[in-house]
Structure 1
Amino acid sequence: MSSEIHEFEVEPTRSRPAGPATSWRHQISPTGWRALLAAAMGWTFEVFDVALLALTIPAFLADFHVSKAEIGIVGTIQAAGMIVGGIVGGGVADRIGRVRTLSYAIGWYAVCTGITAAAGSLTWVEILRFLAGLGMGACWTAGAALVAETWPTAHRGKGGALMQSGMPLGNLLALAAAAVVAHGHSGLDEGRWRMLYLVGALPLLFAVYVRLATPESPLWLARDTGPRTRSSIRSLGAPALRRPLLTALAFVFFIQYLFYAVNTFLPTFLVEVDHMAFAKSLTYLVALQFGAIAGFAAFAVLVDHIGRRPTFVGYLLIGACAIGLLLTVRREGVVLAATFLAGVGISGVFAGVGPWTAEMMHRAPARGLAMGVIYNGGRTGGAIAPYAVGALAVDTAAGFRLGLGTAIAAAALAVVMMLLAPETRGRELTT
C-alpha cells in the first residue's frame, strides 16, 4: 500500500490556533503526533539494536577469544554501515518519501539483527552488523526529516527532543532484555547473547504498522519535482549551503565520538577497571539511561525558549564534567551520580540534533539528503571512537582511562563548533 494514500489527510505543519490558555500539546495536529510515534519508535528500536553490541562485548571476548581491539573493529564496522545507510537513505527519502523509507529501514535492520543470532564467528558478526547498520542509518534520517517537516516551527525543538527520547528508552529495553537473559548466570557468554539478537528482530512488526498507518510529510508531498530537485546533490556544495553543512557535520562528528566512546566501553570499564560484577554494572547503566531521560525532558523545555546554542553548550559541559568524575573518582555514590549526569549530557545533547540539522539546511532543495550527510557523515566520529578507545585500553587501566578521556576533548571541540554556528530557533523550512 503506497504512503500516498495518506495525502488527503495530511495537515499543514503550522500549529492550530491557540488561545491564551491552550497547551502546546493541543497545538500539534494528529498528523504530527502520528509522525512522532513512527519516528520515535523506529529510533527506539534502532538504539536497542545498537546497545546490543555494547552489552554483548564481554560475551564476544569470551566466546570468540578475541582482543578488545578486534571487538572495537566490530563497532567501527557497524558505524560504517550506519554512515552509508544514513546518507543513501536521505537520498531515498527525498525520492520515495519519508514514511516508506522509514518503514523499509526498520524492517531491514530488524531482519539483519535476528540473523546475527546465528553468527558462528566474529567475522559473521561484523558482516551482519554492517548490514544492520545500513537500515539503522536510514531510519534516523527519514524519521528526523518526517518530524521536522510535520511539527510547527514554534514547537519543532520539542518534537525533535521527544523523538530522540527513544534513545534512553531503547537502551533501557536492551538493559532489561540483557538482565532477563543473564538472570542466574555471570554474564551473556556461552551463547546466551544469541537470544538478545533474536529479540532484536521483533521491530519488523512495527515496520508494517509504520507503512500502513503513518501520513507522509506535507512538505515532501508539496516538493518541487522538476530539474532543481534532480540536481539537488550538486546543490549541497553551493556557497550558501557549504558553511552550514560543514559546521553541522563537524559538530555531529564530535558528539558522535563522545557518545560512542562512552556508551560502547562504559559497561566494560565498570567491569574490568572498577571491578564490578556484571549484574551490578547494569544498575549503573540504568542510571545512565535515567539521566538521559531527564536530559531529554529538560532539553524539550529549554530548546524552544532559550535557543539551540545555549542548550547544546550547557549539555556538553555537563557531559564533559561527568566523564572527568567517572575517570578519577572511585566512591560508589559519586560514580553513580556521575553516571546519571553523563546520561544527561552525553545522550541528552542529541535531543535537538534533528530539528537543528533541518534548520541549518532550511533552504536545501534536498533536505533529507542534507540531513543524512550531516548526521550520518558525522557518525564517522562514532566509527572511530570504539576502535580508538579499544586500542588505548588494550593493556592497562590507565590506558582505558586515557581512551575514555578522549571523549572530553571531543566535547570541547563540539562546543567550539556550536559557537561558530548561528542560532536557528524560529527558522521556517522551505519545500
Structure 2
Amino acid sequence: MKTGVTVATSEFEDASRAKGFRSITGVEWRSLSLAGLGWMFESYDSFLLSLLLPTLALQFGLSKAQLGLFTSITAAGQIVGGILFGYVSDRLGRVRTALLCVGIYSLFSGLIAFAPNEHWFATLRFFGALGMGGTWTAGAALIAETWHASRRGKGGALMQMGLPIGAILAITICGIVSGANDGLAGHGWRLLFLIGASPFFILFWIARKTPESPIWLERKHAKATLQKHDPASADKLNVRGLLTAFGFIFFLQYLYWGVFTWTPTFLVTVKHLDFVHSLKFVLSLQFGAITGFLLFSAFVDRLGRRPMFLAYLLVGAAAVGVYILSSNPLLLMAAIFLTGFSVNGIFAGAGPFLAEIIGNTASRGFYMGLAYNGGRLGGFIAPLIIGALASTSGGFVLGLATTIVAFVAAAVVVFFAPETRGKALS
C-alpha cells in the first residue's frame, strides 16, 4: 500500500506545470470523470424535480405551497448531506465518499418511482438529497487535491460543467419519455426517476479505476506521527479563510437563487413577455452556462481567481440591469444567455477557491462542505426577500435589484481575498 501512495504522490508532484489540455494527466482525467459525472447526474436529479412539479401536482393533488415543500426538503437534505459527507470524506476518503453519495441518491431516486403518495415521495426525496449534497463536497475536494496547482482551476471548472449538462440531460430525457408515453402523467414521471437510479452502476466502474487523493493518503499515513508530535497540527483551521469562503458562497447563492427563481416571473408580469417558459429560454440559459464554464476553465489558471470572479460578477450585474431597464426581446434574450454565462459560470471556480482559501487542514472536506452548504442560506433568503417585495411592479424591480447588491458584496469579498492561483495544497 505504501508503494501505491508513493507512485500516486510522485505522479502528482512531477506533473507538468503547463496549463493546456494535453498536459492533463490520466489520474486527473479519472478524478474529473468521477467528480464531474457524479455532479452531472446529481444535476439531472435536481432539475428533474423542477420539470415534474406540474405533473406531481396532478398526480398527488397538491397545491403550489405543498409542491414548494418538495423543493425545500430537497434543499434541506442537500445542506445536511453536503456538511455530513464532507466530514465523512475526511475519514473515508474522497473517492469512496463520492461513490457512496452517488449510490445514496441513485437508490432513493429509484425508490421514488414507486412512491404511493406525497408523504413517501417527500421522505425518499430528503434521503436522496443527502447524497446529492455530499456529491459536490467529495468531488470538489478530490479535484482540488488531485489536479496540479497550475491547472487546478481548470479541473474545478470542468467539474462544474456537469451542472448545465445535467439540466439539459433532464430536459432531453423528459422529452423522450413524454413523447413515448403520450405525456408524463401515469407512469411517465415514475420512469424518469427510475432512470435516475442508473448513475451508481455507471460510476461504480469509474470509481474502481480512480486513485484516491494523494494528499488524503499522505495525511492518513502521517496521522499517527502528527498526533504524536503536534496533536493540533493535523486540524488547524484558517478562520479568516473559512469566513471568506462562506461569505463568497453566501452572496453567490443569493444572486443565483434570486435571479433564477424570479426572473421568469419578472419578465412575464413586469415586462409582459411570453417566451420565458419556452425551450429557447431554458436552452439559452444552459448554453450560456456551458460557455461560461469553458471560458472560465481556459483562463482561470492564467489570469488568477480574483480577476475571473470580478469579471463574471460585472457581467452578471450588467445582465440583471438589462432585465430591469429594457423591454427589448433581443436584448433580454442576450441578457438571459449572459446570465447563464456569469451567474452559473462563476461557480466554476468555487471548488478550487474554497480548497485554497481554507488552506491546509485534515478537515478540508468538512470545512469545504460547511462553507459551500452553509452559504446556501443566501439561496434560502433571496427568494423570500424578493417575493415579499414583488407585490407591485415597482417592488418587484426593487427586489430583483437586491441581487445587484449581492453582486457588489461578492465582489468586495473577492477584492479583499488573497489571490490563490497556484497555491500548493497538502
- The two structures have a TM-score, normalised by structure 2, of 0.87
Matched, 1:364 2:361: yes
Q: Are 1:114 and 1:201, in contact at CA under 8 Å, matched by a contact in 2?
A: yes
Matched, 1:172 2:156: no
Q: Deviations over 1:299-350 (max 9, x none)?
A: 1122112211121121122222223333554443222211111111111001
* Aligned-partner SS, 1:10: helix
Q: Are 1:102 and 1:139, in contact at CA under 8 Å, matched by a contact in 2?
A: yes
Q: Deviations over 1:92-144 (max 9, x none)?
A: 11111110000010111111122223334444433223212210111111111
The residue type paired with residue 15 of structure 2 is R
Structure 2 residue aligned with 1:260? 257
Structure 2 residue aligned with 1:154? 150
Structure 2 residue aligned with 1:243? 240
Matched, 1:412 2:411: no
Q: Compared with structure 1, are the counterparts of its residues 263 and 192 closer, same or farther at alpha carbon in structure 2 (3 Å cutoff)?
A: farther
Aligned residues: 420
The residue type paired with residue 105 of structure 1 is C
Structure 1 residue aligned with 2:337? 340
Q: Compared with structure 1, are the counterparts of its residues 129 and 321 closer, same or farther at alpha carbon in structure 2 (3 Å cutoff)?
A: farther
* Aligned-partner SS, 1:245: helix
Q: Compared with structure 1, are the counterparts of its residues 277 and 158 closer, same or farther at alpha carbon in structure 2 (3 Å cutoff)?
A: closer
- Pairing partner for 1:107 from 92, 103, 107: 103
Task: Give, in angstroms, the shift of residue 368 of structure 1.
Answer: 1.3
Task: Give, in angstroms, the shift of residue 149 of structure 1.
Answer: 0.9
Q: Provide the C-alpha distance between the structure 2 equivalents of 1:128 and 1:378, rounded to a whole number of angstroms.
A: 25
Task: Give, in angstroms, the shift of residue 257 of structure 1.
Answer: 2.5
Structure 2 residue aligned with 1:311? 308
Q: Are 1:103 and 1:210, in contact at CA under 8 Å, matched by a contact in 2?
A: no
Structure 2 residue aligned with 1:297? 294
Task: Give, in angstroms, the shift of residue 148 of structure 1.
Answer: 0.9
Q: Are 2:5 and 2:218, in contact at CA under 8 Å, matched by a contact in 1?
A: no
* Aligned-partner SS, 2:337: helix
Q: Are 2:226 and 2:234, in contact at CA under 8 Å, matched by a contact in 1?
A: no
Task: Give, in angstroms, the shift of residue 260 of structure 1.
Answer: 2.9
Q: Are 2:181 and 2:188, in contact at CA under 8 Å, matched by a contact in 1?
A: no
Q: Provide the C-alpha distance between the structure 2 equivalents of 1:113 and 1:270, rounded to a whole number of angstroms.
A: 33
Task: Give, in angstroms, the shift of residue 159 of structure 1.
Answer: 1.0
Q: Deviations over 1:209-263 (max 9, x none)?
A: 2331211111111113238579779946x5xx11110111111112123223344
Q: Compared with structure 1, are the counterparts of its residues 417 and 17 closer, same or farther at alpha carbon in structure 2 (3 Å cutoff)?
A: closer
CA RMSD of aligned residues (A): 3.3
Mean Cα deviation higher: 179-188 or 380-389: 179-188
Q: Are 1:80 and 1:383, in contact at CA under 8 Å, matched by a contact in 2?
A: no
Identity among equivalent positions (%) equals 44
Task: Give, in angstroms, the shift of residue 276 of structure 1.
Answer: 3.9
Q: Compared with structure 1, are the counterparts of its residues 120 and 380 closer, same or farther at alpha carbon in structure 2 (3 Å cutoff)?
A: farther
Task: Give, in angstroms, the shift of residue 9 of structure 1.
Answer: 5.5
Q: Provide the C-alpha distance between the structure 1 equivalents of 2:296 and 2:127, rounded to a whole number of angstroms.
A: 33
Q: Provide the C-alpha distance between the structure 2 equivalents of 1:388 and 1:191, rounded to a whole number of angstroms.
A: 37
Q: Compared with structure 1, are the counterparts of its residues 266 and 317 closer, same or farther at alpha carbon in structure 2 (3 Å cutoff)?
A: same
Structure 1 residue aligned with 2:15? 16
Task: Give, in angstroms, the shift of residue 283 of structure 1.
Answer: 1.8
Structure 2, unpaired ranges of 5+ = none
Q: Provide the C-alpha distance between the structure 1 equivalents of 2:333 and 2:2, rounded to a whole number of angstroms.
A: 49
Structure 1 residue aligned with 2:36? 40
